[in-house]
Amino acid sequence: MAIGDRTFKVLLEVISGVLTETVSAQVEGPGGVLNPLPIKKLKRRQMRVDYRSAMKDPSRFPQTDIADINHPTLVLRRPGGGGGPGADNVTFAHLEEFVVTLQRDPEILEDGGDPEGPFTAGGNVFTFALGQIIAAAPANERFQAGPFAVHVDSHNQKFWKFSVVTKSGLKLDPCIIID
């Protein structure tokens, strides 16, 4: 990691029979010190305006996930742009096996020049990933997918969707915004 790099962890948890996520993030400071990053400050009102103007049918905005200010949304930077220096990476974790799928937000017009998915693993774009067992991880993070880097061209399609489905059939469908 380098100064300004940000690391996001999406911890998937089952609360009252519903799959939820807790997102935490850290940014690397001088001397390799990791500082907490306030997630709520990343989601700005202008993003909702941008989303609405990029929609295929803007009259549907009130029915979209982005219209709900409480809907889970990851706001990430593209490498070398967006929110300043540094790179963003994301890891998903859960206590049981799961799959993460990624796609363009279906409500948004395709901009072109965008990759098939917003992340890379080992330099390759992908559209799904399986949580792999990490024996040394805490029990609630036993299965992990990532870390994934934000694709350099993912901002060409700023709005993405991802879904998580667990082995027990629970589903979560947050949004991703590449700023």
DSSP letters spanning 32-79: G-EEE--GGGG--HHHHHHHHHHBSSGGGGGGSTTTSTTS-EEEEPPT
Residue 173 Cα to chain centre, angstroms: 10
- Do the strands 98-104 and 128-130 form a parallel or antiparallel pair, or are they unpaired? antiparallel
Q: In one letter, which amino acid is 86? A: G
Per-residue pLDDT, 86: 66
pLDDT at residue 157 greater than cutoff 90: no
Mean pLDDT of 107-115: 82
Take residue 64 and report the two structure tokens written for it. Answer: 């979209």
User: Long-range contacts made by residues 109-112, C-beta under 8 angstroms, separation at least 24?
Assistant: 109/54, 109/55, 109/56, 110/157, 111/54, 111/156, 111/157, 111/158, 112/156
Could you read off the pLDDT of 118-155 as tens digits, one per residue?
Answer: 999 888 999 999 999 999 999 999 999 999 999 888 88
Is the pTM value of this prediction over 0.85? yes
Could you read off the pLDDT of 37-58 as tens digits, one per residue?
Answer: 988 788 888 999 999 999 999 9
Burial class of residue 172 in the structure, from the number of CB atoms within 10 Å of its CB (0-12 exposed, 13-18 middle, 19+ buried):
buried
Q: Find tokens 């103007």 and name the residue.
A: 53
Pairwise CA distance, residues 150 & 30, whole Å:
22
Per-residue pLDDT, 84: 53
Take residue 178 and report the two structure tokens written for it. Answer: 């590449």
pLDDT at residue 67 greater than cutoff 60: yes
